[in-house]
Amino acid sequence: MATAEGEQSVWQGFKGFVSERFRILDSYRPYIRRDTPLPSWSDADVQEFIASDPVHGPVLKTTRNAVKFLALGGVVGAVSTASFAWKYSKSPHGAALALGAGAVFGMSFGQEIANHSLQLYKLDTMAAQAKYMEWWQKKSEGRY
């Protein structure tokens, strides 16, 4: 029985370790674990929230602008690494792998550029997104 207790304590320790690392999911738990999923929203809905919430609206707008940096970084990274790989190897699978890796690396660099240029590190972007999800849930249920 000592083995079962040891395995149980190891499992509890692992669960504690993982739950500490992914505590950010606590903000989204009410919207993820639902019996019926939230309906889809449009850009007009997001713009309505941005206009209606003076605290979290500008933060959400800045966060949405950061996506442009990620997309541009992903495109530049993908195209440049794939073209470099194709130019020097003429290998289709090598170019395809370089395309995927370049997209990931480019998006990472784009995120860092957005983080510094838009000063996202000063903003609580997760709170703004969670507030939007709360607002959308109330609006979709007809409470707004």
Report pLDDT digits (tens) over 3-18: 556 566 777 777 777 7
Sign of the C-alpha dihedral, residues 20, 21, 26, 27?
Answer: positive
Report pLDDT digits (tens) over 112-139: 999 999 998 898 888 899 899 999 988 8
> Residue 24: is its pLDDT beyond 80?
no
Give, in degrees to the nearest 5, the angle at Cα 45 between 40 and 50. Answer: 135
Confidence (pTM)? 0.70
Instruction: State whether residue 58 is helix, strand or coil.
Output: helix
Residues 75 and 104: their CA atoms lie apart, in Å, by 9
> Residue 2: is its pLDDT beyond 60?
no
Cite the beta strand spans of the chain per DSSP E: none
What residue segments make up the domains of the chain, in order of their start?
1-33, 41-140
Burial class (CB in 10 A: 0-12, 13-18, 19+), 138: exposed
